[in-house]
Amino acid sequence: MKVRSLEQSNERYIRKSIMAFLEGEKDLKWVTGVLSKSARSKEAVLPILSRLQNYGDHTRFEELSRWLDSTEW
């Protein structure tokens, strides 16, 4: 059995949360809460988000990108 590192598990959780938002399953408030609590920094989220640029609803992608640009944590 392969055991993931804490960092790998956290990245997977962030990725799956962003995917749920982009698919319309969750709202912006939910995903921003997840990101604020689970990501160590905005810089940790940006590469994950950029890999999902062509996934799901592009309007939602832009909405999340704008939130990331406007927030500090």
CA dist., res. 63 & res. 25, Å (int)? 15
pLDDT of residue 62 exceeding 80: yes
**Mean pLDDT (whole number) for 7-21:** 96
- Predicted confidence at residue 73, as pLDDT, reads 74
Looking at 23-66, which runs of residues are DSSP E strands?
Answer: none
Residue boundaries of the structural domains of the chain? 6-70
- 38 or 22, which is more confident: 22
Burial 26-65 (b: 16+ CB within 10 A, else e): beeeebbebbeeebeeeeebeebbeeeeeebeeebbeebe
CA distance 48 to 33: 16
pLDDT recorded at residue 67: 96
Task: Give me 27's structure tokens.
Answer: 């709202």
- The more confidently predicted of residues 39 and 63 is 63
Determine the pLDDT at residue 34: 96
